[in-house]
Amino acid sequence: MPREEEVPALAIEQLNFRYPGTAADALKKISVTIMPGERVALVGPNGSGKSTLLKLIIGLEPLQSGSISVYGHTSTSCRHRVAIVPQRSTVDWGFPVNVQQVVLMGRYVHIGWMKRPKKEDIEAVDKAMEMMNITNLAKKQIGDLSGGQQQRVMIARTLAHDADLLLLDEPLNHVDINTQELIFHTLEKLSGEGKTAVMSTHDLGILPVHFSRALFLDAEIIADGAVSEVLTAENIARAYGFEFHGKPEEHQWLNG
């Protein structure tokens, strides 16, 4: 048997997906392999399929064709090893729960429904809140928090899950700079422990600093590789429908 670090954290083969009632595929011929410890940025314009791809990996959308495996197993049979931080706009922040209760939801995959949390579950929740600097907010209602605080809560929930593959859907939207830096610090720490992160983002400028790999998506994979190779003027123009003026080397932010 191969060692754990030799088994892909995520392997997708010939994935196609089309929403019912639509004329075009949301995703076409997606094949990608991501190894343990990688931090991969998933980039592309609105409607490019980034959120759809993450939902398919976690099982929130049904697989229509192709295959998805997580650490060598079908993704639906390996849900304890994968967790997602959804877009803030998809969360009901008016639901009457406090911060601690939300973070505890990340442990349900281990606890099971209608069962009481054990000591290790409480410890995992406390550790996750401490990592995201929200321990002092434990008893506050989630609807009373700022946008940055709410995002920290959702990431703490994922940390409490203790998943090996983390999927983050636009976690930087409408959050303060301190929260952004805390998110990146946490991801760097987790990747150092062998955990894997795939994060969708529109902020191309942060990629050279915080990611070693980028996956450029526009229904199909436009480019996949080192950030400097993926974020070229040609690739961006192809995906976003515009072109840069001047020489490519003048766009220094593309080259880190």
* Tens of pLDDT, residue by residue, the chain (256 residues): 455 557 999 999 999 999 999 999 999 999 999 999 999 999 988 889 999 999 999 989 999 999 999 999 987 777 789 999 988 888 888 888 999 999 999 998 888 767 788 999 999 999 999 999 999 999 999 999 998 999 999 999 999 999 999 999 999 888 888 999 999 999 999 999 999 999 999 888 888 889 989 999 999 999 999 998 888 888 877 767 665 555 545 444 454 4
Fold of 4-91+163-255: Rossmann fold (3.40.50)
Pairing mode, strands 220-225 and 10-17: unpaired
Taking the model in full, what pTM does it have? Answer: 0.87
| Distance between first and last Cα of the chain | 39
Q: How far apart are CA 172 and CA 120, in angstroms?
A: 30
